[in-house]
Amino acid sequence: MRVMSEARDAEPAKTGRGHRLPRDPKPWARRHGWFLAVLALGAALRALAMLGYRPALWFPDTYTYVVTVFRPRPDLVRPAGYSMFLKLLEPLHAFAAVTVVQHLLGLAAGVLIYRAARRAPRWARTLATAPVLLDAYQIELEHLLVSDTLFMFLVVTAVVLCTTRRSTPATGTVVAIGLLLAAATLTRTVGQPLIVVVAAWFVLRRRFRPAAVLLAAALVPIIAYGAWFHATYQRTGLIGANGVFLYARTMSFADCAKMDPPPDLAVLCDPRPPERRPPSQEYIWAKDSPLVLRPGITFTKENDDLAARFATLAITSQPLDYAASVLTELGRTFTWDRPVYPDPEIYAYYQFPVAPPGPPGRYPAQVGAEYAKLYEQGAIGTEIVEPYAGWLRAYQSLVRLPGPVLLGILLVPPVAAIVRRRRSRRPGTKQAGAPAWAVSWSVAVVLLVTPAAAAEFDYRYVLPAVPLACLAAALSIKSKPRA
């Protein structure tokens, strides 16, 4: 009788709006104890970051985002979504508030993953949340004033809404998914292919109307932003640097002797053999880059169009070299160690520092620093407070998700699907549509492949894909039916 009483107390009670709350939180807390412990540890680590590095950590892109807060206009290199996020928090005049919100978004992503994986065993659900909640590099990324944490949260939320129990999600849910993916795209342009991926997932499940609604909801804000961009620069698109980034990407293999470019493109050639060239990003920012040496700023329409033509010729002339280069960049995701890449300066931004970083050197960043002082209404910088900072550095040296483990996580869903299909293959059995894990797995793969194909590998580009890969793995593991 006592057991039955405890079971009744543990049953969730319906509220007036249909939500379910536990009658007695103790049995509920026991059932989800491991996850709550991981969540609490993740919160403690983020509190340690707030104590050890006050108020935030800076990245070169940060200053551009802050300038857009005070001079609202589309940027040629980065969409303005993160600047809009900073603008919402600007009345608080505290970058500490920004990092607090970003840490809360990281914790919320863990909760969403756990909730979305409700059909998996609890151990699998808890493990799926561990990387986003406990990985030291994830926590450091949340403390950086960059767009990746916001982007990750928007994409995770959109994908989680796709995993609703309803076979056909409500129209409002589909609209929310579309708007979230649009917001992600306007935060980082790598979100564009995700709209197609999620719409295709609905089509594969024969949900044609939700796919159309999703595309319409996503396109409205993107077209509006594109109109703003066109009105500002008389150019079509969301940014004006796609050609430049793709040119830089192809310089890891482009051989003008094989390409035989026309004279106007030949000015972008690098006579050095590929193995002696610098990392791809140097062709965007280095003063001696053939593109940077051209008249005007690097991202003028003329330069971007020229760079796009060069990149297209390089890819079509050397398709196998391009494919090998993409695989090489993608392969950096799955190494066990974290070798210094693309250069020591950028690599250092992903480590909790021992000493405060120096003031920005480039003129645009110096302008951004002045606006940052206006945002903070005071001096800016990073105060490193011991022993908290030292504890975090020690933690970062020990706790991270190694690349081969991420590769193993990505392999779990397809391997589980193959094994399950072989075991359940019977004559006359109707094959199911796209499995529940397919959307999160596909989005994770696209997030990993797109930077390697269009720009360059970067450690911070990997982290937004991790929680989605973990969610896919958890969804592919089904709980055993209860007796």
**Structure-block tokens of residue 28:** 């509920």
In this structure, the dihedral spanned by the alpha carbons of residues 473, 474, 475 and 476, taken in order and rounded to 10 degrees, is 50
The answer, yes or no, to whether residue 197 has pLDDT greater than 60, is yes
What is the model's pLDDT at position 429? 46
pLDDT score recorded for residue 374: 93
Answer yes or no: are the C-beta atoms of 333 and 406 closer than 8 Å.
yes
- Total residue count of the chain as it appears in this document: 483
Contacts of 202 (CB under 8 A, 6+ apart): 174, 208, 210, 211, 214
The residue among 234 and 421 whose pLDDT is bigger is 234
pLDDT confidence of residue 479: 58
Count of Cβ atoms closer than 10 Å to residue 197 Cβ: 17
13, containing H or E segment: strand 12-14
Q: How confident is the model at residue 206 (pLDDT cuts 50, 70, 90)?
A: confident
Whole-number pLDDT of residue 169: 82
Mean pLDDT of 31-49: 95
Confidence band, pLDDT 50/70/90 cuts, at residue 421: confident
pLDDT at 87: 96
* pLDDT score at 23: 66
State the pTM of this model: 0.91
Looking at the predicted structure, is the pLDDT value of residue 16 above 80? no
- The pLDDT tens digits for 60-87 are 899 999 999 999 999 999 999 999 999 9
pLDDT in tens, 248-293: 999 999 999 999 999 999 999 999 999 899 988 899 988 889 999 9
